[in-house]
């Protein structure tokens, strides 16, 4: 079992996510500059925006302007590179399991899993999705201030905070993109690995991945449990206990609305935990391990009901 491959895999995913998103603050700056230029054309009275036909027509221009800023050639090139990552992830996941069992036949369903993930990413960064998640809300802020005669300065500050972000929160485009790419690529990797694990009949896993400042309690405790060997290997029979927030006889906070550890996706259960893991933005993985590599103490604990 070559754990170095899993390190390479996480490094690949992290670098591709960073590369795709690194240019977006500059894009947000260009979007805000475009709004400032547009705002200079608005008719005002004593600093208040007039609710006039002229101003409404000016606001109507914004969608096409923002689309041109976002969907440039550089964006198309970065998106193509992001899509290639799915193939690279699949190769590394395959290499990991090959290092364990030698040559094996990949389940045919993986081709469809890959195709669906690629199409989902294309949809997420397509015109319709970015309009709903980024462009339309900006236009709504503009329309509200024009029709209600808002202050021009207050309007620009509201737009600036939404587009470029604040000390507490990232700008809308960057936040949307980082959340999607981090979740999509890591979920695809986990899904790919879980399909192979199921095909090989694995029931044991190790929770791997690096922690960040934003890492949630679930992932922190589970990675710590692996390092201190309290829960170095996890059997599928323990998944329900994990979902209840019980890790090594310690309890982590539960989100009452979903009855799951904070940060987990609604509907996460025993069947999809390996794919959903810690939830949105989670960069950890349940790596399959064959029974032959699990230490005897864990096998005995499972047999005796003391795991």
pLDDT at 92 over 80: yes
Q: How far apart are CA 20 and CA 185, in angstroms?
A: 12
Residue 2 has pLDDT above 80, yes or no: no
Q: What is the percent of the chain with per-residue pLDDT over 90, rounded to a whole number?
A: 77
pLDDT band at 25 (very low <50, low <70, confident <90, very high): very high
* Cβ atoms within 10 Å, residue 305: 7
Any idea which of 22-26, 156-160, 239-243 has the lowest mean pLDDT? 156-160
Three-state secondary-structure class, residue 269: coil
pTM for the model stands at 0.91
- Residue 1 is predicted with a pLDDT of 67
Q: Flag the least confident range among 145-149, 175-179, 302-306.
A: 145-149
Reported as a pLDDT band with limits 50, 70 and 90, residue 190 is very high
Q: Report the candidate in 128, 158, 129 with the shortest Cα–Cα distance to residue 142.
A: 158
Residue 3 confidence (pLDDT) above 90:
no
Mean pLDDT of all residues in 262-280: 95
Nearest to 303 by CA among 228, 237, 229, 227: 237
Alpha-carbon span 247 to 221, nearest angstrom = 7
Q: What is the mean predicted confidence (pLDDT) over 247-256?
A: 94
* Mean predicted confidence (pLDDT) in 205-215: 90
Distance separating alpha carbons of residues 37 and 81, to the nearest angstrom: 33
Cα 35 from Cα 66, distance rounded (Å): 9
Could you give phi then psi for residue 256, rounded to 5 degrees? -55, -35
Q: What is the DSSP string of 64-83?
A: HHHHHHHSSHHHHHHHHHHH
The 3-state DSSP composition of the chain as helix, strand, coil percent (nearest 5) reads: 65, 10, 25
Q: Three-state DSSP class for 20?
A: helix
Mean pLDDT of 288-304: 94
**58 pLDDT tier (thresholds 50, 70, 90):** confident
pLDDT at 144 over 70: yes
Of the listed ranges 12-16, 49-53, 101-105, 242-246, the one predicted with least confidence: 49-53
CA–chain centroid gap for 5, Å, is 22
pLDDT of residue 12: 96
């Amino acid at each position: 079992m070559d754990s170095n491959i899993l390190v390479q895999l996480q490094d690949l995913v992290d670098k591709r996510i960073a590369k795709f998103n690194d240019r977006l603050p500059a894009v947000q700056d260009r979007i805000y500059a475009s709004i400032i230029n547009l705002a200079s054309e608005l008719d005002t009275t004593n600093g208040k925006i007039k609710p006039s036909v002229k101003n409404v027509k000016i606001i109507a221009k914004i969608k096409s302007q923002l689309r041109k800023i976002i969907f440039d050639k550089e964006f198309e090139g970065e998106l193509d590179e992001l899509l290639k990552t799915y193939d690279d992830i699949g190769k590394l996941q395959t290499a990991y399991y090959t290092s364990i069992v030698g040559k094996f036949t990949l389940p045919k369903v993986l081709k469809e899993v890959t195709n669906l993930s690629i199409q989902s990413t294309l949809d997420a960064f397509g015109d319709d999705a970015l309009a709903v998640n980024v462009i339309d809300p900006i236009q709504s802020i503009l329309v509200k201030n024009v029709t209600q005669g808002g202050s021009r300065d207050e309007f620009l500050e509201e737009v600036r905070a939404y587009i470029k972000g604040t000390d507490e929160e990232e700008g809308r485009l960057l936040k949307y993109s980082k959340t999607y790419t981090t979740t999509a690529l890591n979920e695809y990797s986990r899904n790919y690995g879980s399909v192979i694990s199921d095909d090989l009949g694995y029931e044991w896993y190790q929770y791997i991945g690096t922690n960040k400042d934003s890492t949630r309690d679930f992932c922190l405790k589970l990675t710590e449990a692996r390092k201190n060997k309290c829960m170095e290997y996890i059997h599928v029979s323990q998944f329900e206990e994990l979902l209840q927030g019980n890790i090594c006889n310690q309890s982590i906070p539960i989100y009452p609305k979903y009855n799951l550890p904070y940060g987990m996706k609604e509907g996460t259960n025993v069947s999809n935990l390996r794919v959903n893991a810690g939830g949105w933005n989670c960069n950890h993985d349940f790596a399959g391990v064959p029974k032959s590599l699990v230490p005897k103490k864990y096998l005995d604990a499972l047999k005796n009901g003391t795991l």
